[in-house]
Structure 1
Amino acid sequence: MLGGGDPGDPFAAAHGVNVKPLIPVGGVPMALHVLRALRGSDRVGRVAYVGPTTPDLDPLIDIRVTDHGTLLSNLEAGVEALRELGLTPGERVLVVTADVPMLRPEEVRDVLDAAPLDAGLVYPVVRREVCEAAYPGVKRTYARLKDGTFTGGNLFLLDPALIGQFLPRLREVLAARKAPLKLAGLIGWDVLLRLLTGRLRVQRLEEKVSGLLGVKARALITPHAAVGTDVDKEADLTLAEAQLRGASGAR
């Protein structure tokens, strides 16, 4: 679980904490809601938490990992920590960001049960209409494809044995994401143009990502809006507070 962040984050500082995942939601750190969802799913064996913690979080964590400063470095450190705890052959790693407090145990369970077993990398995505129906007025970043308009999930599943294959290439892609010419050289002008004009299909994107990273990658279209809704700003925090109050009142 990725719970690090920029120590100078003004959003976190405004709420009196060092990093965003420790911002209180419903009176407890938002990361605690995510940990409860993972543990309550009955599908997660051990949890490596990358980033600073609090006494509220520690009982739900198997191993704490120091924040390494970047997303991919933290991912690599977290997977290595789980390897040290002991991974069985074929066991997969679920990577989750600690800023999705609306995530529920049954949604984690459903994503894991629906994930294809033959892929080394599974990335859940959520349709725009699903997000907007669940959370009217929510602002997310969307990609328009031939099959629909999607936002990316804040969790994904990977085969830890393959991480050494795709991380170097993934670093290269992320480094080029704001340089169109370099990015086009990596993914191909035809794919980039189809993506920009909304004419790219999910299957073609899967094929391109698989070839680019050297592992079989699959998108998983999930009906759970919480998977694609993280807390990045005050409006998101207000939404999360309201949703969690509503869930608590419904019980």
Structure 2
Amino acid sequence: MKNDNIKNQYRVNEQIRVREVRIVGDSGSTVVPTRQALDMARDQGVDLVEISPNANPPVCRLIDYSKFLYQQKKRAKEIKAKQVKVEVKEIRFGPQTDEHDYNFKLKHAKEFLEEGNKVRAYVFFRGRSILFKEQGEVLLLRFANDLEEYGRVEHLPSLEGKKMFLYLTPKKAGVAKKSQQALDREKKANEQKAAPQTLVKENEEDKMELPANGGLFANAKMSDSAKEKIKKIKD
């Protein structure tokens, strides 16, 4: 279907029914009657292809139409390959998420942001767990702080029904996602390289510092109460 769209985008040979056209090539351009341009194409064993129909007169090239279509398809494929599709990835927490689950989801959020995707993290309050909404807010603020290197806060935690949402946007442009085999090889190499230097840091995950001005929360307004909640995490 996409190939047909490219093919139908251009008029060729007798489909071009204007009085005159501008022929462009390596040697420059010239305006000639359309009938003469068709004769030139036949003499050279190529096609008359209209590449700019809205110009006055329309711009055409003398080129093999099959070769021209191949070049257009190849160019469109290259442009698509360079584009990074931005998606919104969701991370779900409970109000009393344990440390192992928290670190597991933190790892995935880093990967999402590194790929150029946005992250929407939320705490789901089921039944009477809504009583722990303040605990859920602190959890999301800690989550944002731990991702400071990878993303910026787009929207501070806010309660919508039974869910409290936090929105993060990537700091850097995304890169093409690597295959799982490549990721496994990199992980193994990094583990071998870092093994002799590994240090155990106790209770570090329970500490966090209030970000400096212009840091993590540069694009979001933080209330005094939110600042106080971040400070409590340190105690």
- Give the TM-score band, short-chain normalised: under 0.3
Larger relative contact order (Cα-Cα within 8 Å, sequence gap ≥ 6): 1
Please state which structure has a larger fraction of its residues in strand: 2
* Alignment TM-score, normalising by the size of structure 1: 0.21
* Structure index of larger Rg: 2
